[in-house]
Structures are given as structure tokens and as C-alpha cells.
Amino acid sequence: MFLHNKRMQYTVRVDRPDPIFAKLLLDQFGGPNGELAAAMRYFTQGWAESDVPRRDMLLDIATEELSHLEMVAQTLTMLLKGSPSAMVDEVEGNYLGNLLDGKHERYVELSMMSGQ
């Protein structure tokens, strides 16, 4: 069961609209290693766990990941609110926008080969 407290745990602030940063942050929201994916992994592991203390811990972590998701969503909303549509269109159609979308295969290949 969930209880949603309408007051954010941490105050989210942005200085100005920034669609470029919003596009980068979108992966943290719903990408493969983002908050939503993390919450789902912890929920799945928790529901499959038979040891009660361990299950409770995993479900608590999953719930915390949902609060992170809410903060990221709030930040995304603020970054896009008031953005002139021209700014958003500029991000979508330019070189950086294509790069952020993974449309430059050579950079994707290079990033996979780098020893991080």
C-alpha cells in the first residue's frame, strides 16, 4: 500500500528552462538504468523474496526509488515549462539532439570501447 505525501521531500529548483538538459535527464527518468527501472527491479526482487526482513528492505528501497522518480519528473517539468517551442525544436533537429538520441553510430561504438 502506498500513501502519497503531496509535499516533496526535497525542494526541486531550476534557474531557467533548459530543453537540452531535460533531454539528458529523460534517460534518468525512464531509461534502462533510470529511477523507474530501478524501482521495478527492487519490487520484482522483493516480491520474489521469501525472507521477510529482506523482502521488506527491498520493497522499502523500491518505494524510495519512486520518490526519486517523482523528483526527476518535477525537474523535467520545470526544465521544459516556459521553454519557447523554438528552443525545443532546436534540440530535436540539431547535431547535439541527434547525438543524444544515439543517431551517430560511431560515437556509440567509441563509447562502448572506452575503458571506463
Q: Which residue has the higher pLDDT, 98 or 70?
A: 70
Residue 79 located in a structural domain: yes
CA–CA gap between residue 116 and residue 108 (Å, rounded)? 14
Residue 12 located in a structural domain: no
C-alpha cell of residue 96: 547535439
Residue 33 located in a structural domain: yes
C-alpha cell of residue 49: 523474496
Residue 48 located in a structural domain: yes
Q: Say if residue 93's pLDDT is above 90.
A: no
Residue type, 40: M
Residue 67 located in a structural domain: yes
- What is the mean predicted confidence (pLDDT) over 16-37? 86
Residues of the domain holding 78: 19-113
Residue 56 located in a structural domain: yes
Residue 59: partners with Cβ closer than 8 Å, 6 or more residues away = 42, 43, 46, 47
Q: Kindly report the CATH number assigned to the domain that includes residue 47.
A: 1.20.1260.10
8 A C-beta contact, residue 18 and residue 90: no
Residue 11 located in a structural domain: no
Question: How many domains does the chain fold into?
Answer: 1
Tens-place pLDDT, residues 30-68: 888 889 999 999 999 999 999 999 999 999 999 999 999
